[in-house]
Chains A and B, each alone.
Chain A
Amino acid sequence: MILFLIRKILWAAATLAVASVLVFAALEIVPGDPAQVMLGINATDDAIAALREDLGLNKPALERYFSWIFGLLQGDLGKSYTYSVAVRELVADRITISLPLALLALVMSTAIAIPVGLYAATKRGSIADTTIMAVTQVGYAIPNFWLALLLVYILAIWLQLVPAGGFPGWDGGLVPALKALFLPAVSLALPQAAILSRITRSALLDTMGEDYIRTARAKGLSFRATIWKHALRNTMIPVLTILGLQFAYLLAGTIVIENVFYLPGLGRLIFQAIALRDLIVVESAVMMLVATIILINLVVDLAYLWADPRLRHGRP
């Protein structure tokens, strides 16, 4: 078990190192000079040269890469070219929107999908099951931005229950903030819930076909008890895998949804920074996302340990 953990952690560290090289190299290759983009097409050459010097862009790439990495290791994400403030401040501000949004969406989709999926599996072939399957089929065909616009029309413009977009800030109290995040979270969660409930259903159905379940039933265990004691845990392994992938997908999905609801989140920060060639912001913010996703994968791996005893006993 310890070995399993050490290997996973080493693997995570290596992934981060490779990612940092890729992110940095990709942005080195992208054409476009941040100083030129900031000063526009009428700028004189000496003004651009002066700004490049100010930003430290004239140093060699290798030197800039290592000073960035050493900064990251000490928790210093650098200073934004365009905003002239610490990237850490920018990211810290934005992540307090993106992360709660993704988490809220994850909780919503799980809370809907798992009970629905389990229910459909236990009632396989019934009208309820068929209906659920049909609805989820539609659910994952709907693009989340379209669903978002539809929800805005109904709940924000027509019923005026929630704002059409924007974010009042957490200082304004929990209720207005959650209200502002509600529609974006639902838009992200519903298509995910549709996928997850189908996975849950088929995972449980697969498990129910196993020999040991038949044995459990044969020894006289009730249907319900069989599911709780024997089937559920095995069902959770594919579900956990999908959940881990989904969280990464939800974080990425916030980029689109943050634009639709004009939320000042991490996705919009990255989007804007790319257009303005604020390279240091893109690099550091993307690394934060990579680190978050790697962390989630670690958590999923740990959850496997809980779900699958074979892993705990060192036989992966």
Chain B
Amino acid sequence: MRTMKKLIAAAMVTTALAPVVLAGQALAAKTSLVMGMALEPPHLDPTAGAPAAIDEVVYANVFEGLTRIGSKGEVLPALAESWDISADGKTYTFKLRQGVKYHDGSDFNADDVKFSLDRARAEGSTNAQKALFAGIDSVSVGDANTVVVQLKSPAGNFLFNMGWGDAVIVASETADGNKANPVGTGPFKFGSWVKGSSVNLVKNGDYWGTPAALEKATFRFISDPAASLSAMLAGDVDAFANFPAPETVPQLQADPRFKVVIGSTEGETILSTNNTKPPFNDVRVRRAIAHALDRQAIIDGAMFGQGTPIGTHFAPHHPAYVNLVDRYPMDLEAAKKLLAEAGHPDGFKATLKLPPPTYARRGGEIIAAQLRKIGIDLETIQVDWGVWVPEVFKAKDYDLTIVSHTEPMDISIYSRKEYYFNYSSDAFNSVIEKLNATTDEAGRYELMAQAQKIISEDAVNGFMFQLAKTGVWNAKVNGLWENSPVQANDLTGVSWSD
């Protein structure tokens, strides 16, 4: 045991001394960046797969779309320089940027846009977000720099949709090889991929826009949270856009070598509820659950205090967000009363299926404890994604589950028929229909607010918190995104100060 004690003491001493030793190293201004990521992308074609890790490497860096999403979630011009929308909101005429070249030296033109959009919506398409393109009726080439997209019906979010990674523009000659050797138009070219270890990007010298400040960018894949911390401390990695070990954040915050930035994501983390399954088909039961949830306790217990409470399915950083957190304040008496009115004075039993992420596994145990106080006895069942998708998402065989819905601007899922919440509201559907047909911003924001209030009123799901994005990077690195309105590590504006 003495040996053990000595070892522990040695570990503590070394942890304390580490910064002192490292401070002695001189760092010149660098032009390369090593970015850590928890998951490795299975391939590098954003038009053929859902994993966020694909976009986190290639979005805005290697591939570009007609539009792009900026750091605040705004729609910016990209390969389309400008656009005109017809008065009926159904015809979009895109004016394309000239003199753009792909990384293999070939020219970008209107044919590529038509090819990419048609490919994504074709019958045999394996695009993971095929629904983004479902509203397109036809794509036609005006001249080499003009593309006309005809929609079946007006879609107010069409320009935002064209900014997704799944809608990037690819060349017909290289499209099939993009999984292993991505060829795009972005400020970085694909360099190499050491499978299981890292992807290397190099600066594109022929970029049409502002050239990148970095000469080289490496994405290194480290899945173990403790290893992520040691990689940061040892200086092997310069930045983690999503640091996977929130419990060690105070240690990094106290260290002047690092900058810790807690931002927001598009991830509404919710207690998803099967709205047609008794007793959850009774709005009083759902409201009782809403009253019994202590959001701050969940954020503190499951997320080490990082996260913003939400009262509806909408990102708090968005200008159209309505704060409905106090619609159902934490009130056990009110909750019990609602349960009694619904015919469950002594509560009931139900199941809670928990997918692998920490927010679900840790959050689930806390929620089970909170609901036990009003008599709801939850059996927690741990499942992996391979089980969750067919069982919960597809077959809707569940009572309650916890998921973070990370797609941007996804409140319209509440109007989707057969979506796994099994929620259906004519009032809500008509708001979404109007929203789709509205293109002016003020009108859209007003409708978004209405939509938020309806689902909050119906307590469709237990709305918990917006997932935080814990960024940790070397204090000398500038230009990384604080929030993540889309899943991306946009390196176009990143540089080192010396």
Residues of A within 8 A of B (CB): 30-33, 36-44, 46-47, 50-51, 54, 82-85, 90, 93-94, 134-135, 138, 142, 149-150, 152-154, 156-160, 163-167, 169, 259-265, 268-269, 272, 275-278
How many pairs, one residue from A and one from B, have CB atoms within 8 Å of each other in the complex? 169
B448 CB to nearest chain A CB (Å): 20
Inside 8 A of B196's CB, which chain A residues have their CB? 93-94, 263-265, 268-269, 272
Q: How many residues on the B side are at the interface (Cβ–Cβ under 8 A)? A: 56
**Least distance between A187 CB and chain B CB atoms (Å):** 12
Q: Are A261 and B227 in contact (CB under 8 A)?
A: yes
B residues near A38, Cβ cutoff 8 Å: 42, 49-51, 128
Assess A83 versus B220: contact at CB under 8 Å? Given A42-B50, A42-B128, A90-B195: no
A242 and B391 CA atoms in complex are apart in Å by 44
Q: Closest CB-CB distance, B404 to chain A, in whole Å?
A: 12
The 9 closest A-B pairs by CB, nearest first: A40-B50, A32-B386, A264-B196, A82-B42, A164-B234, A158-B14, A264-B197, A39-B128, A262-B222
Contacts of A261 in B (CB 8 A): 227
Kindly report which residue of chain B lies nearest to residue A269, judged by CB atoms.
B196
Which residues of chain A are within 8 angstroms of B123 by Cβ–Cβ distance? 46, 50
Name the residue on A nearest B196 (C-beta).
A264
Are A276 and B17 in contact, with the CB atoms below 8 A? no
Which residues of chain A are near B230, meaning CB under 8 Å?
149, 152-153, 156-157, 164-165
Q: Is the CB of B43 within 8 A of A83?
A: yes
A262 to B40, CA, bound (A): 11
Asked if residues B389 and A37 are in contact (CB atoms below 8 Å), the reply is yes
Q: CB-nearest residue of chain B relative to A150?
A: B11
B128-A158 in contact (CB<8A): no
B125 touches A32 (CB 8 A): no
Q: Give the docked Cα–Cα distance between A264 and B123 (Å).
A: 37
B residues in contact (CB < 8 Å) with A: 1, 3-4, 7, 10-11, 14-15, 17-18, 21-22, 40, 42-43, 49-51, 123-131, 179-180, 194-198, 220-224, 226-227, 230-231, 233-234, 236, 384-387, 389-391, 393-394, 407
Chain A residues with CB under 8 Å of B198's CB are 166
**Known interface pairs A32-B390, A84-B179, A272-B40; A138-B407 also in contact (CB < 8 Å):** no
Given contacts A83-B42, A153-B230, contact A44 B387 (CB under 8 A): no
Are A262 and B125 touching (Cβ within 8 A)?
A: no
Residues of chain A lying within 8 A (CB to CB) of residue B4: 138, 142
Evaluate whether A153 and B227 lie within 8 angstroms (CB atoms) in the complex, with A39-B128, A158-B21 already known: no
Known: A40-B51, A150-B11. A160 touches B3 (CB 8 A): no
A84→B1 CA distance, assembly (Å) = 51
Indicate which residue in B50, B227, B391 contacts A39 across the interface (CB closer than 8 Å).
B50
B226 x A260 contact (CB < 8 A)? yes
Cβ contact within 8 Å between A165 and B231: yes
Say yes or no: B126 contacts A83, CB within 8 Å: no
A-chain residues with CB within 8 Å of residue B14 when the two chains form the complex: 153-154, 157-158
Residue on B nearest A94 in the bound complex, by CB: B196
Q: Cβ of B393 and Cβ of A41 under 8 Å apart?
A: yes
CA of A93 to CA of B197, assembled, Å:
11
Given contacts A31-B387, A50-B126, A158-B14, list 8 more A-B pairs with CB under 8 A. A40-B50, A47-B127, A47-B130, A156-B230, A160-B234, A164-B227, A264-B197, A268-B223
Known: A47-B128, A83-B42. A262 touches B389 (CB 8 A): no
Do A36 and B197 contact each other (CB < 8 Å), given the known contacts A158-B21, A262-B221?
no
A29 to chain B, nearest CB (A): 12
Report the Cα distance A130→B236, complex, angstroms. Answer: 42
How far is it, in angstroms, between the C-alpha of A125 and the C-alpha of B299 when the chains are bound?
Answer: 57
CB pair A264 B195 closer than 8 Å? yes
Measured between alpha carbons, how far is A278 from B43 in the docked complex, in Å?
A: 13
**Chain A residue contacts of B125, Cβ below 8 A:** 47, 50
- Chain B residues near A47 (CB, 8 Å)? 125-128, 130
Residue of A41, A51, A93, A276 touching B389 (CB-CB under 8 A): A41
- 10 CB-based A-B contacts, threshold 8 Å: A31-B390, A32-B386, A33-B390, A38-B49, A82-B43, A138-B1, A150-B11, A153-B14, A154-B14, A259-B223
Partner of B227, one of A36, A135, A159, A262: A262
- Taking a contact as CB atoms under 8 Å apart, the answer to whether A153 and B18 are in contact is yes
**B394 contact set on A, CB distance < 8 A:** 36
- Chain B contacts for A93, CB-based, 8 A: 195-196
Among B1, B40, B222, contact of A165 (Cβ-Cβ < 8 Å): B222
Q: What CA separation (Å) do A152 and B385 show in the bound complex?
A: 32
- Which residue from A30, A40, A152, A264 sits with its C-beta under 8 Å from B386? A30
> Which B residues lie within 8 Å of A167 (CB)?
197
Which of B15, B224, B407 is close to A42, meaning CB atoms less than 8 Å apart? B407
- Of chain A, the residue at the smallest CB distance from B25 is A160
Q: Kindly provide the distance from the CB of B422 to the nearest chain A CB, expressed in whole angstroms.
A: 15
**Contact status A260-B227, CB under 8 Å:** yes
B15: chain A residues at CB < 8 Å are: 153, 157
B234 with A44: CB separation less than 8 A: no
A32, B389: Cβ atoms closer than 8 Å? yes
When C-beta atoms are compared, the residue in chain B nearest to A265 turns out to be B196
Bound state CA distance, A165 and B3, in angstroms?
Answer: 26
Contact residue among A90, A142, A259 (Cβ-Cβ distance under 8 Å from B224) = A259
